Copies of this chain bind each other. A is one copy, B any other.
Amino acid sequence: MSLKPKSAVLKQTASIDRESYEPAYVQLAKILRQSMVAGILRPGDQLPSEAQLCERYDVSPMTVRRAINTLVDQGVVVAEQGRGTFVKPVAMGAATFNLGNLQNLFNDHEHTTVHVLEARILGADERVARKLNIKIGQRTVFIRRLLRTDGTPSLYHREYLVYDPLRPIVEAELEVTALQRLFNGTGETILKHGDINLEATILNDEESKILQVSEPMAAFCFEHLFYDFDDKPISWGWFIGRADCLRFSTQVGLLMN
């Protein structure tokens, strides 16, 4: 691990194309990233100082700054005031998984359909009352939905909504499109924030039946609790999907681009 900037090597790399549609800071970030991918800059190595980069690529300090901030945000370098900017080592702990992939499911009307299996007014039991911070017996709207991908059951959703006759949302929530809104936030929304848990579980009898699984099978469970603008819970529910149909992939470290 070298402690000095690899100035000599970097000097030979590409320069910034002023005619390009790509902003200078993006180009610079790519150049630096590329030197890491190529192994010119290794984990632990120090990047050239901002002043050096300004001179070498003939851009202003703010532009260099932004390029480096981009890399910091991407988690590939770390900047330490007074010391320098260094290439971060690959760490599995930096891996992140997002539900964005799942979101595509809801938008893909070609292959995915949503069926409302059940929707009725239900008095809250102890568990529901606790989650939604309401009294036991207070009315909720209980909804069960099933998503099918190419006809095959893929996701089973259950949801309890606080019943409020003043809020016309209830009607809308029953519609098939309501799920989509929950997931990608299109259209009107009364949700301010939400808590989401990801768990692994084994399908119970009801779930197995609905998802058409015969043997015991592992599944992902996304529990969600949404709040309105008064920070009152209004929706508690969970999605369950077969483990053999769901997978989350991600990458860490230096990738091509």
Contacts and interface: CB of A to CB of B under 8 A. Distances in A.
Nearest to A42: B229
A96 interface: yes
A245 to B, nearest CB: 11
A142 interface: no
Interface stretch (A8-16, A161-169, A181-189): A181-189
Nearest to A217: B202
Contacts of A94: 98-100, 185
Contacts of A255: 193
Interface string A199-234: 111100000000000001111101010110100000
A21 interface: no
Interface string A17-58: 000000000000000000001010011100000000000000
Interface stretch (A84-92, A127-135, A147-155): A84-92
Nearest to A221: B200
A251 interface: yes
Interface of A: 1, 37, 39, 42-44, 62, 73, 88-100, 102-103, 106, 182-189, 191-202, 216-220, 222, 224, 226-227, 229, 243, 246-255
Closest 8 CB pairs of A and B: A193-B253, A93-B103, A89-B185, A91-B185, A200-B243, A200-B200, A198-B248, A89-B189
